[in-house]
Amino acid sequence: MQIINYFKNNYRQIAKSYTLIIIGSLLLAVGTGLFLIPNRINAGGISGVAIILNSVFGFEEDIVVLIMAWGFFALSLLFLGLKFTLKSLVSSLIYPLSLVLLMRLPFFQTLVQETFLDNPDTSKTLIAGIFGGVFVGAGVAITFLGGGSTGGVDILVFIIHKYTQVKQSVLSFVVDGAVIALGVFALGDMIASMIGIVAAFITAIMIEYIFVGRSKALTALIISKDHVKEINEYIQDSMERGSTLIPVAGGYQKHAYEMIMVTFDRKEYANLIYQVSQIDKRAFLTVIQTNEVLGEGFRGFRNRKRKGK
């Protein structure tokens, strides 16, 4: 009964979230299935691993992606729990299945063959890398906006982070970098490998601009009349972020409140908005793009020399 009431009361938000996740997963499949994989462009991730395994062992790339996506999903259930894994459920289903269709339907095969593979040259490969990066980045960003996760090697990153406490950004760079570097030796094509790096860079840019603009982090200011404690506990316990409680007063009636200030990573944006709405639908929440964050949980301070005239 509680589940029915939950969907009844939140069907619009749920429909919006899953629509974004589905669209993002489809764009991800287009980027990898029509641009990156057919042109042997290794931009990291499980599609990069699939290209390597095809080159070395002859395994079909779309099947490799399918097996790896569902395999990582199972690992996530085992090591990260149901709550985290559900975020990647839809994408883990839609992305690999869409990729299989795109790479096996005659219409798309003919389109790719005539566009890129007949009389191939470096300029065509570069164009494929650029558009592949655009579609993949847009797909990942839109999936994040829906509160989901694309799964894949991100799950491996989260598992390693859980047991080593190494920063996720560092782990993600190391994992994708290792896949790209391995591809240089497996494929024996330095030009395609360099284009893969370009595609990975474009993917990162697309995620930044679509999801949070230019900023790398966000800061939320939250005012709740009766549920400050519950919201703050969610931030502390579930998000594992530090928060600051600031006494404030309403400008009109001068009522006293406590405002919660928290800075967080872009991937936590949709979940924070959703959880605050579940705790207090009348809360007032402002999200600010943050240009730089230094300190625990983010980038460390550096010794900076002041430049004088």
39 pLDDT more than 80: yes
229 pLDDT more than 80: yes
Q: What is the pLDDT of residue 57?
A: 94
pLDDT band at 309 (very low <50, low <70, confident <90, very high): very low
SS3 state of residue 32: helix
The Cα 224–Cα 293 span in angstroms is: 25
148 pLDDT more than 60: yes
Q: What is the pLDDT of residue 302?
A: 57
Q: What is the pLDDT of residue 35?
A: 97
For residues 47 and 31, the answer to whether their CB atoms sit within 8 Å is no
Q: What is the pLDDT of residue 307?
A: 44
* Among the ranges given (8-22, 68-82, 108-122, 293-307), the one the predictor scored with the smallest mean pLDDT: 293-307
Q: H helices of the chain, where?
A: 2-9, 11-30, 45-57, 61-79, 82-85, 89-104, 106-112, 122-145, 153-164, 168-187, 190-212, 228-233, 269-279
The Cα 17–Cα 20 span in angstroms is: 5
305 pLDDT more than 60: no
Characterize the bridge pairing of strands 243-249 and 256-265: antiparallel
Q: What is the mean pLDDT of residues 142-150?
A: 83
Other C-beta atoms closer than 10 Å to the C-beta of 133 total 26
Q: What is the pLDDT of residue 141?
A: 87
Q: Which residues of 119-128 are buried (b: 16+ CB within 10 A; e: fewer)?
A: eeeeeebbeb
Q: What is the pLDDT of residue 9?
A: 60
Percent of the chain at pLDDT above 70? 88
8 pLDDT more than 70: no
308 pLDDT more than 50: no
- Of the two residues 65 and 9, the one the predictor is more confident about is 65
The mean pLDDT of the chain is: 86
What pTM, to 2 d.p., does this model score?
A: 0.74
* Among the ranges given (17-26, 213-222, 283-292), the one the predictor scored with the smallest mean pLDDT: 213-222
The Cα 259–Cα 231 span in angstroms is: 11
100 pLDDT more than 70: yes
Domains with residue ranges and CATH for the chain: 2-212 (no CATH), 217-290 (3.30.70.120)
Q: What is the mean pLDDT of residues 159-171?
A: 78
83 pLDDT more than 80: no
